[in-house]
Chains A and B, each alone.
Chain A
Amino acid sequence: MTADTDVLAGVSPTPGSKKPDPILIATGVSRSFGGLKAVDVEHVEIQRGLITALIGPNGAGKTTFFNLLTNFDEPDSGDRTFEGKSLNGVAAYKVANLGMVRTFQLTKALSKMTVLENMKLGATGQKGESMFRAIFPFLWRDQDNEIESAADSLLARFKMDHMREEFAGTLSGGQRKLLEMARALMVKPKMVMLDEPMAGVNPALKQSLLDHIKGLKADGMTVLFVEHDMDMVQEISDWVIVMAEGRIIAEGPPKSISENEAVVSAYLGSHHDAPLDFGDDE
């Protein structure tokens, strides 16, 4: 991990700091719900190939910001670029095709489809997904078989191969998180956005989820995740972005974040003088 963070060694730990090789950039992004300004981010850059955590107290606007970055919600104003391409006005499904895929806080396993069907759905550019070609199986059968073996090897990597024929609705909460992450990988993304990957996952599965997220980085993917679990943030992230009341109040390597005054006051109120111990968070 130290080798990776070296990339960011020269980056100043201040909100909106420039990164050497950003994959995702957001500038002037704001979103209001009625009178409430849920997100108001001046500038943020996400470094390619690293694991970045987005943290903040409840109601900080993390998930809203996340939705804005993935185009599941439209900002009132602001620009987002992914790999130099503007995301403004791009439909959410096209964002996935550009190589940025997300998961959801409330896991969206497709209950009445089998684990394998869930996985195969994730593959992009499927010939048989055109209504007219679908009628002629010989046009897409070969590709479908390739997708199936790719799905099988991913399932094996996530140790879910024994449940490939089960309905996803029968899986436990943690298994659904695993399935959702594996399914996202079927898209062959460049960047994976995880919305609270640890929520509702039992401790035994947590470790394996953590390893899988590290595995994403090892495979060259960029990861941005929203999380409450500070142990996880400390363990796997290379860089931490802190939000409060819709703004980015701090950025920096994980070690420095818990000593940051702005972060401490955002979490605990401004008259707290001890360094922040996130142990009883959650």
Chain B
Amino acid sequence: MLAGILTDTIRGLIGDQAIYFALAAIGLNIHFGYTGLLNFGQAVFMAAGAYGLSMTVVTFGGSFWVGLFVGAFVFPVILALVLGIPTLRLRADYLAMVTIATAEIFRLIARTPGLDKWTGSSDGLSGFARDFYDLSPFEPRQRYLFNLFQGNQMWVFVVGWITVGLMLLLTYLLINSPWGRVLKAIREDEDAARSLGKNAFTYKMQALILGGVIGAIGGMIRAIGTQSAQPDNFITDVTFFAWVAVILGGAGTIFGPVIGSMMLWCVLAFADTAMRQGVSSGALPDWLLTGTQVGQVRFMLVGSLLIFLAWRRPQGIFGNKEEMALDDR
């Protein structure tokens, strides 16, 4: 029983969900943590990646590799331009409103039965990832890494974490450059940046595109991992999981979003398995908790963790308390 809890917890810590949300959170961290953009629609960037790939392959019969390019660049860049051009000249809250609405609009359009032959409506699209799994060096029926993952999962695991590593490296290089300095200046005070000759609009647009592309890559890996792109994989909750990851780990830190995502899914997996085992073994009596309640209760536990963190460590795990305190002055 304990072994089951342990493996599930570790799978939560380093498994597929942690990867997708780490990427979404890295992107969101560039938006919010470094540039101060309030993007409440990271789910739509993830969806852009998933649908960019799957529609290219399934709907239009293109190759997987073209699909990767469309999912990682074409769809999210167009999306960022559409979202950014009307809103980035305005106050930060306008972007927030537009992104949260766009995410829902996209999902509802993708669900529309009339668009079935393009988007697959509510069933979504599948069968686009064969070329990816063909390259896998792992045996699909074998289990790897102390029996944690099957072959195909293991392949997603390896490619996923390499991608996370590359995106962290990219973020690190960019943020520690003069470009990153301008982003931080815009986060602190846009007018000051403009008074010093920086074109704030262009930088905000670049940041929106970059964070969106990284989120889209996360969505694409999610589509590959689950071998399907479904509209309801990109509900508003997805955006807020990414936000939780950023805030848990520490906004405006390089590793924060990744560690935040790992912690989030680790706590969720632990709470889920531990409670289910408790219910089925009778350790948790029926009047206290039933099996069907577990799914909700685990989110309550994550919520409590967040409240605890906001109280004891508002800057997140990696954040700098001294830096955080400057807000109060």
- B200:A93 contact, CB within 8 angstroms: yes
* Cα separation A121 to B180 with both chains bound (whole Å): 10
Query: Chain A residues near B286 (CB, 8 Å)?
Result: none
Chain B nearest CB from A132 CB (Å) reads: 9
Q: Which of B10-18, B122-130, B184-192 contacts A (4 or more CB under 8 A)?
A: B184-192
- B188:A112 contact, CB within 8 angstroms: yes
Q: Which residue of B lies closest to A70 (CB)?
A: B195
Q: Which residue of A lies closest to B182 (CB)?
A: A129
Q: Which residue of B lies closest to A107 (CB)?
A: B192
- B195:A102 contact, CB within 8 angstroms: yes
Chain B nearest CB from A228 CB (Å) reads: 21
The residue from B179, B184, B189 contacting A134, defined by CB atoms under 8 A apart: B179
Number of interface residues of A (CB under 8 A): 40
* Cα separation A225 to B178 with both chains bound (whole Å): 30
Q: Which residue of A lies closest to B179 (CB)?
A: A134
Known contacts being A120-B181, A131-B174, A134-B174, is A101 close to B188, with CB within 8 Å?
no
- A129:B326 contact, CB within 8 angstroms: no
* Cα separation A277 to B184 with both chains bound (whole Å): 46
Known contacts being A108-B189, A134-B173, is A91 close to B199, with CB within 8 Å?
yes
Query: Chain A residues near B227 (CB, 8 Å)?
Result: none
Chain B interface main SS type: helix
Residue among B173, B178, B329 facing the most chain A CB atoms (10 A cut-off): B178
The residue from A72, A113, A183 contacting B196, defined by CB atoms under 8 A apart: A183
The residue from B181, B187, B188, B197 contacting A124, defined by CB atoms under 8 A apart: B197
Query: Chain B residues near A183 (CB, 8 Å)?
Result: 196
Whether B143 is near chain A, meaning CB under 8 Å from some CB there, is: no
- B184:A113 contact, CB within 8 angstroms: yes
Residues of B within 8 A of A (CB): 170, 173-174, 177-182, 184-185, 187-189, 191-200, 206, 210, 252, 322-323, 326-327, 329
Q: A111-B329, A117-B184, A121-B196 are in contact. List 8 more A-B contacts (CB 8 A).
A: A72-B195, A93-B199, A104-B192, A112-B252, A113-B185, A121-B181, A140-B177, A167-B323
